[in-house]
Structure 1
């Protein structure tokens, strides 16, 4: 039986072990929600099962400390954590799925987990570094809801995250919280694979008519407003409830139902999602005023951020964001938080250029006042016209 209290406390050993474990995992996807009760664990369980059914070696890590639902959803409520003082062994579910849950620690499923912060952080570290997953194509991580210490620690411990799937419901309260989840990902440079709107209408089992109980479309509208992909709507379906209560994965036992097809269409883009370093989206930042490049980037109205697919050099997304109140040195870290890798500016001081380089952001100065999309296209076609840096004086740190 794995003994958490007797586990190793050698920092150098634990760091080496963490690096070794994570190096065997090709893709790490976190499933997030702004609040509890939106169906996050149902999405995580069915995403992991879909990957496994597609032949991918998949791990499912349920680290929702105060509400571990995966054992119930997969019929594993009687399973206990197995391992030694230094290794945790996941439960093998079928041919290609391995599962670990906080719930496996509980002697009784009704027992609450009453831990303070340091204890939570310790078990998060242990569950990520201590599990002997072997080689995995995907690790799906069912995170605690919200944007607090726990999901932050999970993402930081995972180091490099392929992307996040964010689950919400149509209500205004849930949508407000999920905006925070999107911004949370942006600040941590975690790509948002997409937003799923769960409980979006009720399908009547008698007539198959959809009734909008909680309204519909709030998640989709929010995703478009925040320029992140929208993956689709999952309706309230009695079959989902039945599958969860009986421990039967919905995507396997109800694959041919209308909702099963909806879920398949939502999950397929996640399965096909790629985010390797070779195919990482290029993001440009352009200081903008009145729809064109602002010649002095430190005093612009907004920044236009443009995302480009590096394989095709096609613009795939654009958003405008108001920068923080002007003060020296504030823009480079802020632009880095937005995920930009290139900034095109008319003028910029030497100190600011050095700061951008420290954040691994390439600086192009001397660009002419033109529309942001045209500047990016010209840059990609190697015909961007640049002239004199309009702010080429060392004391400027805007």
Structure 2
């Protein structure tokens, strides 16, 4: 039966636009509470992409980071099986989905957890997929996360495109095997990322060699060195190789991948830890400190660049947040690990010059700025350097602002310098 609108097409269009704007606000609100976002993708199926995504998530969580793992392989979700996730979602008092807590630091969301029958087929077209993916971000209570890892289906279809459009600062981790047919498809994934303006964190070569469990000899089942050669040819960073390990297959089928990684035993676990360390290092603030800084400033910057630390900058005047961002007296730099404040320091900015502060704060290892007001051009310059900006904050002690932000109780108003 056709729908008959009693309020007119314009009223329906207005309601739809309002709903979409509200959904976009929810997505934005969630994303600003998440540190690094990864899109794990591959050019073809069967390369172990989901196993890599799960292993990376588990290893990061084991290192003490708060991690969310989002499975958007809507037609063939495998993350719940790999990690042994069962049951359905809970809903909080704000009617948001609560991710499945696999451990204290690792939370999982998958379409599989919404299906009554795990063997049911999901038959959806592109627009529906896009809407579900936005809901999995905006209407899920992720909380504060250091990392969000998104496992996409193979190829360059609707799901990775929706992630690229929904998460502006997402970075791609591309998985391949050494064989040429996989490398041919992975080059398409690399070109997809470049056309969709998704920065590539690096390339992972999975199933690089089989290590014989009896004699320790390495057997190149799918060829050797193809991942590294492709990364060099396509000018992409090579994150590392993971060997073929029968125990990984067995753990995935049994849903005990979490225990396998926790054991940190064997060549696969060692390679996965090395890969994770590479990812962490490439996500850390730059370690190069300009020569013009004093020795004291250099040591302060270096201390904030420890792995897993987020440095938040707050412009201040007379000890409180200064609404005139470009003309503040000092910046208070607050170091946060997880949800805990670890350190606080003050630095005096250089004389005001258009476009200087984003570069100067990036050199100080800043990953986020809490401000009262800021011009759109300045916000764009910060975002280009991977620095998140939160505007509309009240004039308060900077450490109180950071603490309230971490607790989710910081109320922000309008951008008082929106020009």
The interval holding the TM-score normalised by the smaller chain is: 0.5 to 0.7
Q: Distance in 2 between matches of 1:9 and 1:253?
A: 46
Q: Distance in 2 between matches of 1:153 and 1:275?
A: 26
Q: TM-score, normalised by structure 1?
A: 0.64
> 1:63-142 counterparts in 2 under 5 A?
63-76=72-85, 78-83=86-91, 86-142=95-151
Counterpart in the other structure of 2:370: none
Q: Structure 1 regions of 5+ residues with no counterpart?
A: 1-7, 281-310, 312-358, 361-398
Q: Distance in 2 between matches of 1:14 and 1:112?
A: 27
Counterpart in the other structure of 2:232: 224
- Say what the alpha-carbon RMSD is for the aligned residues: 2.4
SS of alignment partner, residue 36 of structure 2: strand
Moved over 6 A (4+): none
> 1:143-162 counterparts in 2 under 5 A?
143-161=152-170
- How far off is 1:177 after superposition? 0.7
Counterpart in the other structure of 2:32: 23
Q: Distance in 2 between matches of 1:279 and 1:199?
A: 32
In the alignment, does 2:65 pair up with 1:61?
no
Decide which of 42, 49, 63 is 2:58's aligned counterpart: 49
- How far off is 1:275 after superposition? 6.8
Counterpart in the other structure of 1:304: none
- How far off is 1:202 after superposition? 1.6
Decide which of 245, 253, 260 is 1:245's aligned counterpart: 253
In the alignment, does 2:271 pair up with 1:262?
yes
Q: TM-score, normalised by structure 2?
A: 0.61
Decide which of 174, 186, 190 is 1:178's aligned counterpart: 186
SS of alignment partner, residue 60 of structure 1: strand
Counterpart in the other structure of 1:204: 212
- How far off is 1:169 after superposition? 0.9
Give the aligned length.
273
Q: Distance in 2 between matches of 1:170 and 1:254?
A: 27
TM-superposition CA deviations, 1:266-304 (whole Å, max 9, x none):
12110222277x899xxxxxxxxxxxxxxxxxxxxxxxx
- How far off is 1:228 after superposition? 0.9
Decide which of 233, 241, 244 is 1:233's aligned counterpart: 241
Q: Distance in 1 between matches of 2:145 and 2:167?
A: 14
Q: Distance in 2 between matches of 1:189 and 1:118?
A: 21
SS of alignment partner, residue 58 of structure 2: helix
Q: Distance in 1 between matches of 2:164 and 2:139?
A: 16
Judging changes above 3 Å, is the alpha-carbon distance between structure 1 residues 207 and 279 closer, same or farther for their aligned structure 2 residues? closer
Q: Distance in 1 between matches of 2:89 and 2:103?
A: 18
- How far off is 1:146 after superposition? 0.9
> 1:275-354 counterparts in 2 under 5 A?
none
Counterpart in the other structure of 1:327: none
Moved more, 97-106 or 85-94: 85-94
Counterpart in the other structure of 2:222: 214
Judging changes above 3 Å, is the alpha-carbon distance between structure 1 residues 171 and 107 closer, same or farther for their aligned structure 2 residues? same
Q: Structure 2 regions of 5+ residues with no counterpart?
A: 1-16, 289-301, 303-379, 382-419
- How far off is 1:86 after superposition? 4.6
- How far off is 1:35 after superposition? 1.0
Cα pair 1:128 1:158 within 8 Å, conserved: no
Cα pair 1:168 1:198 within 8 Å, conserved: yes
Q: Distance in 2 between matches of 1:55 and 1:148?
A: 34
Counterpart in the other structure of 1:318: none
TM-superposition CA deviations, 1:162-198 (whole Å, max 9, x none):
x211000111111011011111122233221111111
Q: Distance in 2 between matches of 1:37 and 1:109?
A: 21
Q: Distance in 1 between matches of 2:44 and 2:191?
A: 14
Judging changes above 3 Å, is the alpha-carbon distance between structure 1 residues 260 and 275 closer, same or farther for their aligned structure 2 residues? closer
SS of alignment partner, residue 206 of structure 2: strand
